[in-house]
């Protein structure tokens, strides 16, 4: 609770809708656990096809795309997601264990290098800006 009010304080990214594509099971579990205390409403899927299906049915503020997916190159998936109804206005972030290139493909607004912390996620989401979308 905030000592100056009688209502509990809200998490920093309360209501932010995030879609993440992560092929490793433990990575999906960890990401959900790291985003929850930040107030993020996260949908975490295992592959590109699932991401495209979800993005046609729900709207998101931010999309995390793992560049090392086994079923589709992350750069291509990001471009495809940017054309969906639910992610067309989303901020798309590249997530990878690789080093950041000099220039990101234009579909990406930022880069998140693995491993990362809750603090890293909080800072990244702050850079992306919070404009909660209406649920589809």
* Higher per-residue pLDDT: 51 or 15: 51
Fold of 17-127: Rossmann fold (3.40.50)
Q: Say if residue 135's pLDDT is above 50.
A: no
H or E stretch including 29? helix 25-35
Share of the chain above pLDDT 70, in %: 89
70/48 Cα distance (integer angstroms): 9
Half-sphere exposure of 3 (CA within 13 A, CB side): 0
The two structure tokens encoding residue 101: 């290139």
Q: Do 61 and 133 meet the contact criterion of CB atoms below 8 Å apart?
A: yes
Q: Which of 107, 98, 112, 99 is nearest to 77 (CA)?
A: 107
Q: Say if residue 111's pLDDT is above 80.
A: yes
52/97 Cα distance (integer angstroms): 23
| Average pLDDT in the chain | 89
Q: Say if residue 136's pLDDT is above 50.
A: no
pTM, two decimal places: 0.88
Cis bond upstream, residue 62 (ω within 30): no
Share of the chain above pLDDT 90, in %: 76
pLDDT category of residue 130 using cuts at 50, 70 and 90: low
Q: Identify the bridge partners of residue 64 per DSSP, sorted by sequence position.
A: 20, 93
pLDDT category of residue 102 using cuts at 50, 70 and 90: confident
71/11 Cα distance (integer angstroms): 34
Average pLDDT over residues 112-129: 93
* Higher per-residue pLDDT: 2 or 97: 97
């Amino acid at each position: 609770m905030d000592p100056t009010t009688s209502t509990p304080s809200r998490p920093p990214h309360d209501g932010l809708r995030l879609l993440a594509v992560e092929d490793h099971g433990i990575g999906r579990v960890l990401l959900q656990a790291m985003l929850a205390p930040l107030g993020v409403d996260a949908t975490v899927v295992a592959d590109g096809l699932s991401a495209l299906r979800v993005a046609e049915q729900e709207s998101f503020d931010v999309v995390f795309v793992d560049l090392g997916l086994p079923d589709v190159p992350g750069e291509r998936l990001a471009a495809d997601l940017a054309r969906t109804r639910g992610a067309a206005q989303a901020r798309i972030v590249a997530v990878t264990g690789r080093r950041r290139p000099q220039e990101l493909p234009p579909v990406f607004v930022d880069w998140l290098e693995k491993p990362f912390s809750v603090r890293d996620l909080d800072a990244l989401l702050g850079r992306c800006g919070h404009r909660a979308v209406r649920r589809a």
